[in-house]
Structure formats: structure tokens, C-alpha cells
Amino acid sequence: MELTPEQQAEIKALRAGQATTRRVTVEALEELLYEPVPVLDHGFVRVIDYMGDDSAIVQAARVSYGKGTKKVSDDAGLIKYLLRHRHTTPFEMCEIKYHVKMPIFVARQWIRHRTANVNEYSARYSVLDREFYIPAPEQLGVQSVSNRQGRGDVLEGEEAANVLEMLKNDAEQTYDHYVQMLNEDQDGNVIDESRSGLARELARMNLTLNTYTQWYWKTDLHNLLGFLSLRADAHAQYEIRVYAEAMLESLKHWVPITYEAFQQYRVGGASLSASALDVVRGMINGNPIAQEDSGLSKREWRELMETLGRDQS
């Protein structure tokens, strides 16, 4: 990730600023404010602003004055209860705003989480940077035969080199054509005074999906946890998962009690269907149960056995 001198100066100025406030602030998150966390080859995530902390959740749940109880253990117990029993409203009292730079195809996955306020960099008004996501060789997986949305074994040797070369060449060629159609460079300067450039809103359609875009993304804590539970999961696509992991780290600094509860009940926990629960009860009682008699499909059975850590061989 490379920042321009102007971007570096802006971040330095923002981080040097101080504001007197009566609002609740979180010292650990204040240390991260405005600082970009590198993601992929040219991307980043940075926290721009936030509202509330763990005590705001407790306050909302109890509809009381102040910052909750005097005992952290009491607040932790309540937050765990709320998360465990899916009482979502108190978590909506906290909000956070991120500035994210990511490939367009990642943004198109991300935007499916229709639970945030989003303002994206507009290629109708500005010229996009000449930056493209080129996967690391170890991320070049073939199509999985068991999961239509996943990857299998990693490409190697000449085949991998050819794929990387095609990705790079295609992105560079389409960007060159983009600039030719615009007849202007990244700074908005006209390249050839003797001809007119195509409108920016039309020229952009030629760009590849690995071109980088940016946006500001603001959401409440409840919906952030929903996003992270899906996108920080090991089954999520790598290119969006690394962004979620960076955001998960900011969550840890912002609301540490909620973070621990989230790890306990969402990340490390599991939800079982009624049929799966019957299977578990039968196992506890020592009853031999086969997949055919369980009421579960083969896939559901496999997932349950994986959750329980049972050998399926």
C-alpha cells in the first residue's frame, strides 16, 4: 500500500489534532484513528470516527443514567447475555465509520450487506488511480469441485505465471484505453488538446474489476458483528476476509467486552437445528445414530460431525 505525500500529510495532521469533549472516548481506539491498516497489495482500512463503547450497550439495555455498573464483570455478564440471546437493539447504540480502499469486485460483495451508510469514490467525477489487485501466487486456487463458490488446489508453475501475466496485462491495457478515452491523466490534465475526451461516466465501464475503489462505510455495532460473522469466517473469500480481519482488530480495541463475547458465542460457537440437537442428545445418551436415521442430509450430517470434532472415516 502506497500513500501519496498529500495523504500522508493529511493523516499526520488529523492524528496530531486534539478535541475536548464530554462524550465517551476509547483510548485504545483513539490510538488507531485515521491510521491506515494495509490490506492486499494496495488496499487499506482505517477508522475515521466512532460513537459509544461497551458501557453504551449496558446503558441502553438498562435504560439508566451513567456508564452502567461499577463492576466490569457485571457489564461483561450482561453483554454476554445480550449477545447469547440475540438482543440486538443495545448494540445498535454504538456506531463506527471506516474509510476502505479495495478492489471493485470486493466492493460488489461487500455492498450486499445493506445495513450501512456508504459513500463511494465516484468515477463519474474523478479519474480512478492506476492501481490493480494482483493476487499473490498462493491465492491462485482452481475452482473447487465441492463448493461452487470456493477454491481448490493452488495453481503452480507456468500455468500460475500465465494467469498472473494475463491479470496484469488486461488491467494495464484497459486502464491505458480508459485514459485514452478520457484524454486526461490522473490529475485531470488534458493529454491531447486537439481532441475531446469521452465522458468519465462512460469511460469507466472499460475498467477491470480488480481496479481499486474507495468508500466511507458507517454502520452500527449490531450490523458490524453480522458483517464480521460472515466475512471474517474461514469460508469467506480471501480477498474480503482480510478486510474483515483488519476490522475485527479495530473491534477488539473499541469494545473489548463485546469482542470477547463475539468470539465466544459467534466465532467459536455453533447454532444447531432441532434435528441436529436430537442427534447430539442421542449421542450423549449413548444411542448409536446413523446419518440415514438422523433426519439430516449428508451435507448437514457432515457439517454437524465437523462441528463436534467427530471422526467420519
Domain holding 88, by residue range, is: 1-133+210-269
Q: What is the mean pLDDT of residues 49-54?
A: 96
What pLDDT was estimated at residue 66?
53
Catalytic residue annotation = 231
For 216, the grid coordinates are: 466511507
pLDDT at 245 over 70: yes
- CA dist 107 and 120 (Å) reads 9
Res. 64 pLDDT band, cuts 50 70 90 = low
What pLDDT was estimated at residue 154?
84
Same domain, 107 and 146: no
What pLDDT was estimated at residue 70?
56
Same domain, 154 and 100: no
**Of 222, 226, 218, which Cα lies nearest the Cα of 90?**
222
pLDDT at 1 over 80: no
Q: Domain of 244: which CATH number?
A: 3.30.1360.170
For 126, the grid coordinates are: 474523478
3-state secondary structure of 216: strand
What pLDDT was estimated at residue 131?
95
What burial class does residue 246 get, using C-beta atoms within 10 Å of its C-beta: 0-12 exposed, 13-18 middle, 19+ buried?
buried
Q: Hey, which residues does 102 pair with through a beta bridge? A: 213
15 vs 152: which has the higher pLDDT: 15
Note the Cα 164 to chain centre separation in Å: 25
Res. 143 pLDDT band, cuts 50 70 90 = confident
Q: How many domains does the chain have?
A: 3
3-state secondary structure of 137: helix
What pLDDT was estimated at residue 269?
87
pLDDT at 257 over 80: yes
pLDDT at 141 over 90: no
Same domain, 1 and 125: yes
What does pLDDT average to over the chain? 90
Same domain, 102 and 195: no
Q: What percent of the chain has pLDDT over 90?
A: 65
- CA dist 15 and 209 (Å) reads 33
Res. 69 pLDDT band, cuts 50 70 90 = low
Same domain, 5 and 83: yes
Q: Is residue 141 part of a domain?
A: yes
pLDDT (tens digit per residue) in 156-189: 889 999 999 999 999 999 999 999 999 988 777 8
For 286, the grid coordinates are: 449413548
What pTM does this model have?
A: 0.89
Res. 191 pLDDT band, cuts 50 70 90 = confident
pLDDT at 4 over 70: yes
Same domain, 50 and 168: no
**Amino acid at residue number 169:** N
pLDDT (tens digit per residue) in 263-278: 999 988 888 999 999 9
**Of 311, 313, 110, which Cα lies nearest the Cα of 227?**
110
Helix (H) or strand (E) holding 97: strand 95-103
Q: Is residue 214 part of a domain?
A: yes
What pLDDT was estimated at residue 63?
80
What pLDDT was estimated at residue 208?
96
- Using the 3D structure, point to which of 208, 227, 256 is the last residue of a domain: 208
pLDDT at 10 over 70: yes
- CA dist 284 and 288 (Å) reads 10
Q: Hey, which residues does 218 pair with through a beta bridge? A: 97, 117
| Matching residue, cell 467427530 | 310
- Using the 3D structure, point to which of 208, 229, 260 is the last residue of a domain: 208
pLDDT (tens digit per residue) in 112-129: 999 999 999 999 888 999
Number of neighbours of residue 135 by Cβ within 10 angstroms: 17
Same domain, 175 and 71: no
Same domain, 162 and 223: no
List alpha helices for the chain, DSSP H.
5-16, 27-30, 54-62, 72-84, 104-110, 157-182, 200-203, 221-231, 238-254, 256-262, 274-284, 291-294, 298-308
* 222: CB partners within 8 A, 6+ apart: 88, 89, 91, 92
pLDDT at 67 over 60: no
pLDDT (tens digit per residue) in 80-90: 999 999 999 99
pLDDT at 149 over 70: no
Same domain, 124 and 262: yes
Q: Is residue 313 part of a domain?
A: no
Same domain, 101 and 125: yes
**Of 211, 223, 189, which Cα lies nearest the Cα of 93?**
223
Helix (H) or strand (E) holding 44: strand 43-51
Q: Is residue 121 part of a domain?
A: yes
Same domain, 109 and 155: no
Q: Is residue 190 part of a domain?
A: yes
Q: Is residue 175 part of a domain?
A: yes
Res. 142 pLDDT band, cuts 50 70 90 = confident
Same domain, 27 and 114: yes
